[in-house]
Amino acid sequence: MLSREDREYDKRVRSLKQHKKKRKLSKDNDDKNDLQTLKKIRQDKVELVETTLKEKNSKQKLFIYGNYNRYYGYRNQSTHDGRLDSWNHQWFQGKDCLDIGCNDGHLTIEIAKKFNPNTIVGIDIDASLITRARSNITRINSTKNHQFPISFGICHGPIVDTCNDDSTLYPRNILFKQENYIKESMESINEEKPLYDVILCLSLTKWIHLNWGDEGVKKLFKRIFMNLRHDGILILEPQSIESYKKKKRLSATFRKNFDEIKLMPDQFNDYLLSEEIGFSSCQTLPIPNDAVKGM
């Protein structure tokens, strides 16, 4: 039989062992918590990297057609586009025009205002840009349709109505619509009708080339020719092959199409004048000072 002192000693030993066991258990729990925290941090980092890559790929995908937001603000520091200065007013006056790859419509609107065509249709593959272009027209219409209050005429005399001047169709002569101009087959292109007197294709051929290769460019030129009326005009602004090299990194399709290019931009004139397309003459226009290299 243990003495009182022995029982007290055994009690302290058991208490000490239990304390050590609790400390060990607590340490194990802390280690588990630390491990879980570390795993979560690593997982968060992985998710962050994946999100960043997705955002980067999304931005790249967004602009694979050259449909940059604020394109004309990027291209020209001034509000006026210098390319218009080398264009003949008679090309557009009273004519039906098409602007392929119109972006948010700034140049299309400027042409409609400056040259007074009968109609000008702006098309772009990006529906969001067409929405912005239509918004620009809405703002113009709201400005032109502004009415003076009745009291203004009573106080200041008759008001001359300049808004109903039939000598200009602007901005009623502008239409924007979303469309991919590149047809799937040459057979469907051969059924196209001559609808326009002037077609503009500005800083677009690079993106056609990289997305659809030589075949896409050939379809573009053939459809343009079919859509032009007799004595119609194509205003073409191709980009140099050097400007393709940076953009080819945006996708595997771009790289493949770039590597397979045989119809170079400096050969476009000869190709357009060939029997395969059918244009009769070519004129080179001066490059404006506000042009951006590589667009």
- pLDDT tens per residue, range 27-83: 555 556 666 665 665 665 545 445 444 544 554 455 576 655 544 444 444 478 999
In terms of domains, do 11 and 87 share one? no
Q: Is there a domain that residue 101 lies in?
A: yes
Q: Considering the chain, what percentage of its residues have pLDDT values greater than 90?
A: 58
244: its two tokens: 């393709």
Predicted confidence (pLDDT) at residue 161 exceeds the cutoff of 60: no
What pLDDT score was predicted for residue 141? 82
- Please, which pLDDT band fits residue 113 given cuts at 50, 70 and 90? very high
Model pLDDT, residue 99: 99
Number of folded domains in the chain?
2
pLDDT at 129 over 60: yes
- How far is C-alpha 66 from the chain's CA centre? 5
Quote the distance between the C-alpha of residue 135 and its chain's center: 16
Residues 173 and 257 in one domain: yes
pLDDT, residue 13, reads 53
Q: Return the pLDDT at 152.
A: 47
* 199 φ/ψ angles, rounded to the nearest 5 degrees: -125, 130
Task: Tell me, yes or no, whether 285 lies in a domain.
Answer: no
Residue 190 and residue 103 share a domain = yes
For residues 53 and 182, state if they share a domain: no
In a domain? residue 98: yes
CA dihedral in degrees (107, 111, 114, 115; nearest 10)?
170
Tell me 267's DSSP state: G
* Domain span including residue 48: 1-62
- For 174-231, the pLDDT digits (tens) are 999 999 999 999 999 999 999 999 999 999 999 999 999 999 999 999 999 999 999 9
Residue 289 lies in a domain: no
Give a yes or no: residue 150 inside a domain.
Answer: no
Q: 96 in a domain, yes or no?
A: yes
Give me the pLDDT at residue 53, please: 44
Instruction: Answer yes or no: do 2 and 87 share one domain.
Output: no
For residue 107, give the CATH number of its domain. 3.40.50.150
| CA 137, 140, 142, 147 torsion-angle sign | negative
Residues 24 and 167 in one domain: no
Among 133-147, 208-222, 256-270, which stretch is predicted with the lowest mean pLDDT?
133-147
Give yes or no: residues 85 and 34 share one domain: no
Residue 135: pLDDT band with limits 50, 70, 90: very high
Q: Are residues 246 and 138 in the same domain?
A: yes
For residue 74, the model assigns a pLDDT of 40
